[in-house]
Amino acid sequence: MRATPFIITNLIEAVTLEPLAAENRFVRVSNQDLGRKTNAWIAVEAGKIVGLGTDDVDPKFINFPIVDGRGCIALPGLIDAHTHPVFAGIRADEFCRRLDGVTYAEIATAGGGIQSSVKNTASASDELLETLVLQRMKVFAGHGVTTVEMKSGYGLTVSEELRHLRIIKKIAAKSSQTIRATCLALHAVPKNQPSAHIWADTCAKELLPVVQKENLAEAVDAFIETGYFRVEDCELYLRTARDLGLNIRIHADEFSDSQAAECAARFGALSADHLQFASPMGIVAMAAAGVVALLLPGTSLYTSIPYTDSRPFKDAGCAVGLATDFNPGSCPVDNLRLVLTMGALHCKLTMAEAVAAVTWVPARSLRLEDAKGALTPGRDADILLMPLSSCEEFVADLGRTKPHAVFARGFRVDE
């Protein structure tokens, strides 16, 4: 299906991020970098932005059907670059046990946590999982999200990981929203495996070649953390991924300094995520290697772990993004706009940095910056219209205001 052309008119402002896009720059984000244009219009054709201006509409778009943007601001469609949406069952019982004082680590050791979701998900049919993921995509769209990174990781056998990735691929093929799949086979050590190392090597030898052959994921991921996987457990897995042309993302240093930031830098990862306990050396190495720091404040909110301070990352020259980490146990937060406000406050981002952290920077972390993350002619028509009067209101909103309209590649996706 081909998206019909249209023109969005009378916008209070368009927050384009054009200065960042023009320089292909992801760091040192200032207010001027937001590229705000008042009394703006945006022309869309064949799923792309074909014109953007202020005041009088360019005559060549005069016959395009009008979408009235009166009372709204426009932003690039939001990009959630870290989610775990392929699962069945929410772990509410564990949340209540944590209220009783049991820790997340104790729950995991007792067979709960990720293992509990693995069990629930294994018993769900393809049809059920597909329905659940589609429902979650719709919720993301309702929050203004037009691009979603989706991880497997509740399979934890070769066949289940492949099943989940094939479900993601099937959904991605027919979605207007853009999906980037990540194989997170190293999410936890499966119960029936003798060691982390052995499971990781099995994935390297038996899983990743199939993932690459069937084009099931653009990247792999590993949870490098005490009690999960050590850097040395992941060596063959990450090397194999790199040799197969798959990108790398890392769950890094969330509970302790596990040298995961250093590992992400050494392998040239697209992003290292969480990062509460990343070492100063690891942060410097990430900056030098161009690894995006993706911070996930929803997990801190829901599990009472510290928030990640973005300042050491910014000072070192790292690009900083925000994502939800949507999952059934440690963070059932599916609203990236809520995370935007929380992240700005608790991870210490400025208004401009916060806007870039859910648009332009995560586009970079998915290698989609040529097509997404900014409102400029030639880029995809991923456009969020918010019934707010300014960008400042958007950042302060705490995800409270429903979008006026959300377009992904020129199609309305929020209704």
Which is closer to Zn ion, CB of 45 or CB of 80? 80
Work out how close the CB of 377 gets to Zn ion at its nearest, in angstroms, rounded to a whole number.
35
Work out how close the CB of 297 gets to Zn ion at its nearest, in angstroms, rounded to a whole number.
13
Work out how close the CB of 78 gets to Zn ion at its nearest, in angstroms, rounded to a whole number.
18
Judge residue 56's burial from the number of C-beta atoms within 10 Å of its C-beta, 0-12 exposed, 13-18 middle, 19 or more buried: exposed
Which is closer to Zn ion, CB of 323 or CB of 368? 323
Length of the chain: 415
Q: Which amino acid belongs to residue 374?
A: A
> Mind giving me the DSSP string for 257-308?
--SHHHHHHHTT-SEEEE-TT--HHHHHHHHHHT-EEEE-HHHHHHH-PPPP
Which is closer to Zn ion, CB of 225 or CB of 325? 325
Element (H, E) at 235: helix 231-243
Which is closer to Zn ion, CB of 83 or CB of 259? 83
Closest to 259 measured CA to CA, from 286, 297, 293, 292: 286
| Residue closest to Zn ion when measured from CB atoms | 325
Q: Please check whether residue 156 is in contact with residue 118, taking contact to mean a CB–CB distance below 8 angstroms.
A: yes
Q: Please check whether residue 84 is in contact with residue 325, taking contact to mean a CB–CB distance below 8 angstroms.
A: yes
> Mind giving me the DSSP string for 30-59?
-GGGG-EEEEEEEEEETTEEEEEEESSPPG
Strand partners, 406: 384
Q: Please check whether residue 380 is in contact with residue 76, taking contact to mean a CB–CB distance below 8 angstroms.
A: no
Contact partners, residue 393, CB within 8 Å, separation at least 6: none
Work out how close the CB of 127 gets to Zn ion at its nearest, in angstroms, rounded to a whole number.
25
- Positions in 311-330 near Zn ion (CB under 5 A): 325
Work out how close the CB of 287 gets to Zn ion at its nearest, in angstroms, rounded to a whole number.
22
Which is closer to Zn ion, CB of 324 or CB of 359? 324
Which is closer to Zn ion, CB of 35 or CB of 153? 153
**How far is it, in rounded angstroms, from Cα 28 to Cα 22?**
14
Which is closer to Zn ion, CB of 145 or CB of 383? 145
Which is closer to Zn ion, CB of 73 or CB of 331? 331
The stretches of 123-224 forming alpha helices (DSSP H) are: 126-142, 158-173, 196-202, 208-213
Which is closer to Zn ion, CB of 322 or CB of 385? 322
Element (H, E) at 408: strand 405-408
Work out how close the CB of 82 gets to Zn ion at its nearest, in angstroms, rounded to a whole number.
6
User: How crowded is residue 71: how many other Cβ atoms within 10 Å of its Cβ?
Assistant: 14
CA atoms within 13 A on the CB side of 406: 21
Number of residues that bind Zn ion (CB under 5 A): 1
Work out how close the CB of 40 gets to Zn ion at its nearest, in angstroms, rounded to a whole number.
36
Q: Does 262 bind Zn ion (CB under 5 A)?
A: no
Work out how close the CB of 238 gets to Zn ion at its nearest, in angstroms, rounded to a whole number.
17
Is the CA virtual torsion 406, 411, 413, 415 positive or negative?
positive
Work out how close the CB of 390 gets to Zn ion at its nearest, in angstroms, rounded to a whole number.
32
Q: Give me the residues that bind Zn ion (CB under 5 A), please.
A: 325
